[in-house]
C-alpha cells in the first residue's frame, strides 16, 4: 500500500483546509459526473455547511504533496464497522497510489475489524483499487437518480 510517489504526507485534515477539500472534491468528482451523465451526484451537491457538519462527526484524512492538498477521505465507525467515504484524489495526481494510501491510513485510524464502502458500478478502476486493498463486492444497488452502485466489504 506504499504510494509510489515521494514526499507524500498523510495526516488529519485541518479545519482551515475544508474549503480546499470541498473544491478538490468537486473537481475530482467531475470525472464521475461525466461517466454517469449526472451532474447532481451527492459529492457534487455537498455544501460548505454540509462538510463542516460532517467534519465535526467524522475523521477526515488529507494527502499533501509539498504542502499542496492532493487527496482527501473521510470515515467513521458505526456498529463496529469502519465506513470509508468520499475518497478523492486530484485528477492530475492519480495513478500513483495516493488513493490506496489514503484508504489504508483511514483503516489504521478507524482500527475496526471490518470495513465497508461503495462506489459507482461503472467505475472499474475504483473497484480494482478497492479489490487490491482486500475489499470484495457484496451487493449492487441503483440510487433514486438511477446511478448504479456496488457495495464492498473487507474482509
Question: What is the contact surface with ligand COA in residues (CB under 6 A)?
Answer: 28-29, 31-32, 87-89, 94-100, 119, 123, 125-126, 128-129
- Least distance CB 127 / ligand COA (angstroms): 9
Q: For residue 147, what are the CA distances in angstroms to 11, 83, 92, 139, 144?
A: 32, 20, 25, 14, 7
Nearer to ligand COA, 55 or 102 (CB): 102
Whole-number Å distance between alpha carbons of 30 and 43: 10
In the complex, minimum distance from the CB of residue 5 to ligand COA, in angstroms, rounded to a whole number: 9
Whichever of 104 and 109 has its CB closer to ligand COA, that residue is 104
Shortest CB 73 distance to ligand COA, Å: 8
Q: Which is nearer to ligand COA, 12 or 30 (CB)?
A: 30
* Beta bridge partner(s), residue 107: none
Q: Residues 138, 152: contact at Cβ < 8 Å?
A: yes
24, burial (CB in 10 Å: exposed 0-12, middle 13-18, buried 19+) = buried
What's the min distance (Å) between Cβ of 26 and ligand COA? 10
Amino acid at each position: 500500500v506504499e504510494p509510489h510517489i515521494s514526499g507524500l504526507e498523510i495526516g488529519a485534515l485541518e479545519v482551515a483546509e475544508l474549503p480546499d477539500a470541498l473544491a478538490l472534491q468537486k473537481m475530482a468528482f467531475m470525472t464521475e459526473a461525466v461517466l454517469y451523465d449526472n451532474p447532481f451526484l451527492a459529492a457534487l451537491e455537498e455544501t460548505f455547511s454540509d462538510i463542516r457538519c460532517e467534519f465535526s462527526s467524522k475523521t477526515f484524512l488529507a494527502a499533501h504533496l509539498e504542502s499542496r492538498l492532493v487527496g482527501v477521505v473521510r470515515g467513521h465507525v458505526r456498529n463496529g464497522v469502519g465506513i470509508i467515504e468520499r475518497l478523492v484524489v486530484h485528477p492530475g495526481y492519480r495513478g500513483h497510489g495516493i488513493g490506496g494510501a489514503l484508504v489504508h491510513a483511514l483503516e489504521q485510524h478507524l482500527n475496526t475489524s471490518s470495513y465497508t464502502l461503495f462506489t459507482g458500478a461503472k467505475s472499474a478502476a475504483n473497484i480494482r483499487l478497492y479489490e487490491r486493498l482486500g475489499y470484495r463486492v457484496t451487493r449492487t444497488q441503483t440510487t433514486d437518480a438511477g446511478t448504479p452502485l456496488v457495495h464492498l466489504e473487507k474482509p
